[in-house]
Amino acid sequence: MTKPVVLIAEELSPATVEALGPDFEIRTCNGADRGALLSAVADADALLVRSATKVDAEALAAAHHLKVVARAGVGLDNVDVRAATQSGVMVVNAPTSNIVSAAELAVALMLAAARHLSPAHQALRHGEWKRSRYTGTELYEKTVGIVGLGRIGVLVAQRLSAFGMRVVAYDPYVQAGRAAQMGVRLVDLDTLLAEADFMSVHLPRTPETIGLIGAEQLARVKPSLVLVNAARGGIVDEVALYAALKEGRVAAAGLDVFATEPCTDSPLFELDNVVATPHLGASTDEAQEKAGLAVARSVRLALAGELVPDAVNVQGGVIAEDVRPGIPLTEKLGRIFTGLAGSVAESIDVEVRGEITDYDVKVLELAALKGVFADIVEEQVSYVNAPLLAAERGCAVRLVADPESPDHRNLITIRGTLADGSQVSVSGTLIGIGQKERLVEVNGFDVDIEPTEHLAFFRYEDRPGMVGTVGRILGDAGVNIAGMQVARDAKGGQALVALSVDSAIANESLAEIQEAIAAASVRAVDLT
């Protein structure tokens, strides 16, 4: 028998090839050379890349035998995951390979900014000995605010605690008790902004986090603040940060990421109180080797038809054909659940009802958790780390399977209890021959709406004119409504408007809607 072909399109660590072993035919090509890639991938069973190779629909169409694309790193910007899924190609990455390197770089940037290392180094290179000009600030006994207490945020907190710093953190998806176990005081963002002498950002880039640290927030910090962003560009508003640094309202900044990359021309680079690096978070020998070993292991599992924990689109392994279509729906339900909850749940039930319970539906529990945490942690969420993320946040998870489903052939519900005792639930099903996804329940209200990329949910007291008010505000904002469902628990009782819209709704419009209809709850969910 011929050996499966593994195509390595970029330079990887020698340990990667060794980890693949003798069971595969290893070929190489220059993934940046489009013609060479399209030719070489035609016979490949697996494709290993880093960041320079663009794996898009064209490349996938040229790969007639491809089963798995492996990205030796965390980011997947160069891989069209949706096209791969449609082609039945698994996509894997190495979600934890760089977390130590990223945490260490954040600390390095903090120290460099606090001690003015970059301008002092440049001055010395130009023959200037200016000790008094570059007097810095100690970290010892200062307060550091960690914005985002995921795995990298935790590593940064641990390392800065060793410097004798007081650590506070903002993360609405982490319970206070869990933070306290790590010696971290959990606070709201306003408190963090007021107390922090140093700040380090460790959040994913989502529509909710873009511009989270903007002009309004920077106006409330201490003028001695040293701010570090080694997570994702755009979370800190670069225009607002430049103004704050220029005007002395922020003391210094350390930046590894930018809103648009590559970034070689920014006003921030002109400032002596800015230390900037070109997205070096994962750029260590150790991180690259860990990434190579991780994807080599995933490729071996994928080509053997076994469970692949680091798969980002499909799980692999033996999953019943009747269960597979429910996986992407369940992941979406998880993301919608998080958008509705707005905070961490103390417990989550993943309820699966109907005919599919004749099969093993454990994968749907994993898909639900993957969705729940996809938009709230900095690291990549996979089937293997999603349960760990829940455990780390003190969230108890239970899978409930029941063959009885009175209203739908199959029904998947994610139901959770929040810290204040309130409950959040969202249900979905697949309908018709095409197995189209539908939301059929939100927080106890019956709905029937397609889970498109942009969704919104408004709960208010049932009375005339509210639907028209919502439509007018969205129309004025240029947001087109693709679908709308209105439900209520009783005439004159509580009502829910569920919307699918063609574009994201700005926070200003959401606030206007909330005020105009006196909404008890306003939630927007972005599934892009």
**Which sequence positions are flagged as catalytic?**
232, 261, 279
Cβ count within 10 A of residue 409 = 12
Q: Which of 251, 250, 149 is nearest to 201 (CA)?
A: 149
Structural contact between residues 291 and 72, judged by C-beta atoms closer than 8 angstroms = yes
Q: Please state at what angle helix 285-303 crosses helix 99-114, rounded to 10 degrees.
A: 160
Rounded alpha-carbon distances, angstroms, from residue 100 to 96, 282, 290 = 8, 9, 11
Q: Which of 425, 434, 440, 412 is nearest to 356 (CA)?
A: 412
What is the rounded distance in angstroms from the CA atom of residue 280 to the CA atom of residue 413?
A: 41
Output the six-digit token pair for 129.
Answer: 């000995």
Rounded alpha-carbon distances, angstroms, from residue 219 to 198, 240, 251, 252, 374 = 15, 9, 13, 15, 30
The three-state (H, E, C) secondary structure of 81-104, written as one string: HHHHHHCCCEEECCCCCCHHHHHH
Q: Which of 94, 8, 11, 12 is nearest to 46 (CA)?
A: 8
Rounded alpha-carbon distances, angstroms, from residue 338 to 352, 496, 512, 513 = 19, 18, 23, 21
